Amino acid sequence: MSITEATTGRWSRKIADTILGACNGQGENEYVLERWAYVPGMLLMAMARAGVQLAEPEYLSFMTRHMDSFIGEDGSIRSYTLEEYNLDQINQGKNLFRLYQQTGETRYAEAAHLLAAQLIGHPRTSEGGFWHKKVYPFQMWLDGLYMASPFLAEYGKVFQRPELIDEAAHQLLLVERRTRDPRTGLLYHGWDESREQEWADSSTGLSSHFWSRAMGWYAMAVVDCLEHFPVTHPQRGTIIGIFQRMCGALAEVQDAKTGLWYQVLDQAGRKGNYLEASGSCMFVYAMAKGLRLRYLEPSFKDVMLQGYEGILAHLTSEDEQGVHLHKICHGAGLSKDRNGSYDYYVSEAMVSDAAMGVAPFLLASLEVEGYRDSL
């Protein structure tokens, strides 16, 4: 499959239709949407963006229907607890802004205010970095930057709270400074300021490896935050600069044969490592959006398109049920029983058609198509 063939079709529509077909009200099949959580929230956001970009009301109503099953008339959120202080619980709230702006219903604004209140009072490191969760004290994970920072930046824009856009910038810059490896330019998955965790280096507090999806979360966080920053924001240029520098580091570890990225980014060829779908989709999404909005230099076009072509050629299949995405890491984290070792990352289950990969695949397809249409 050539780059041209990989980018001429509307894969986004095929993916969105597959999601609708799977979510037929009979247990929701692979895409579990009965709880307020970060992966369903990302899937809903991807479907809403598809609805706008493809002018398909059914995709938008899919998001609205599921969100409305959680949001009470007073703005309360079913199954959400502020005092859990869990950054993952913020991500689904990104859908509230579209609903509020489309309907004007105050319940959506009240729900957004509730989530913002969590972040304003969220536990922090000594430099003001959000703990990933209350139960993970003094730990910053790259995952958390995607969960919370774009929400905070958009909230600041919509509700005229510029200090919260400043906060989003602070989080992005702090975690990059703390986790970046100066030799490779890649970012470690997590950092423990207290240096107490078993997975943390005793001198730096850093985890041991560069996990693909962790860097994918951060890459998406950067482009999604920047979209809400005013052009006069004093950290905007710096953040764009570190994004381009990071994409350069990712280009160095892109697999030359397939255009994809490995589960453990800098360990190509090591036993057990594999070309992983969710991280690859996240990198393509971030680069395509960065190119469309001119955060990246045009030289990254080939890196992005080769990545997208690789996803379609090596990780995707189609049948009567629709589009399928394979080689998705089911999940990974850092804790006592998840020690951040190489063997740990390559031992986590590899699955097909999980929303963890399908949502970034849809987002990446929308951005590749949007970039193509903007040329």
How many C-alpha atoms does 126 have within 13 Å on its Cβ side? 4
Q: How many residues does the chain have?
A: 375
- Residue of 88, 143, 224, 353 with catalytic role: 143
Query: Do 368 and 259 contact (CB within 8 A), yes or no?
Result: no
**Which residues does residue 192 pair with via DSSP β-bridges, in sequence order?**
139
| Closest to 53 (Cα-Cα) out of 289, 271, 220, 235 | 289
Q: What is the 3-state secondary structure (H, E, C) of 111-158?
A: HHHHHHHHHHCCCECCCCCECCECCECCEEEHHHHHHHHHHHHHHHHH
Query: Do 205 and 340 contact (CB within 8 A), yes or no?
Result: no
* 339 burial level (CB within 10 Å; 0-12, 13-18, 19+): middle
Q: How far apart are the first and last CA of the chain?
A: 22
Q: What residue ranges in 151-290 does DSSP mark as E strands?
A: 190-192
For the CA atoms of 367, 318, 281, 256, the dihedral, rounded to the nearest 10 degrees, stands at: -110
| Closest to 63 (Cα-Cα) out of 7, 108, 125 | 108
Dump the DSSP string for 214-234.
Answer: HHHHHHHHHHHHHTTS-TT-T
| Closest to 94 (Cα-Cα) out of 43, 54, 150 | 150
Active site residue 143: yes
**Cα–chain-centroid distance for residue 264?**
17
| Closest to 288 (Cα-Cα) out of 95, 4, 7, 2 | 7
Q: What are the residue numbers of the active site? A: 143
